[in-house]
């Protein structure tokens, strides 16, 4: 599994709306081939900052299959309006478990 992480700064005051939008956006993500899991973490020191972690079967499932599909614009339309700036996205390979 490949883990995609996105550090997302949300416009202050819109955190609750963003969290509700993520719940709706999960339905779109669940349709994507290769999607495995999603986790959302909210910053403690900076409560308008989130860490979004999405597990994909392969890198290509995210970068090609999802990003180049009709699902990505739907996903982005739901959560994008809350972004204070462009998210910082990286991909990770699991080396150890537990």
Q: Is residue 28 part of a domain?
A: yes
Quote the domain boundaries for residue 35: 2-92
Model-level pTM?
Answer: 0.94
Q: Is residue 48 part of a domain?
A: yes
Q: Is residue 98 part of a domain?
A: no
Residue 47, pLDDT score: 96
Q: Is residue 84 part of a domain?
A: yes
CA distance 37 to 46: 24
Q: Could you tell me what percent of the chain has a pLDDT over 90?
A: 96
pLDDT tens figures, 67-81: 999 999 999 999 999
Residue 98, pLDDT score: 73
Phi-psi region at 34: left, alpha or beta (left = phi > 0; alpha = psi -120 to 50): left
Is 96 a residue whose pLDDT tops 90? Answer: no
Q: Is residue 44 part of a domain?
A: yes
Residue 97, pLDDT score: 80
Looking at the structure of the chain, the number of domains it has is 1
Q: Is residue 27 part of a domain?
A: yes
Q: Is residue 38 part of a domain?
A: yes
For residue 51, what is the domain's CATH number?
3.30.70.100
Q: Is residue 97 part of a domain?
A: no
């Amino acid at each position: 599994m490949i883990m995609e992480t996105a550090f997302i700064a949300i416009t202050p005051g819109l955190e609750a709306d963003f969290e509700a939008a993520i719940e709706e956006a999960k339905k779109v993500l669940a349709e994507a081939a290769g999607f495995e899991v999603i986790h959302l973490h909210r910053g403690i020191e900076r409560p308008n900052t989130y860490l979004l972690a999405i597990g994909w079967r392969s890198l290509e499932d995210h970068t090609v299959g999802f990003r180049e599909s009709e699902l990505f614009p739907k996903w982005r339309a739901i959560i994008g309006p809350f972004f204070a700036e462009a998210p910082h996205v990286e991909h990770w390979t699991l080396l150890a478990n537990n």
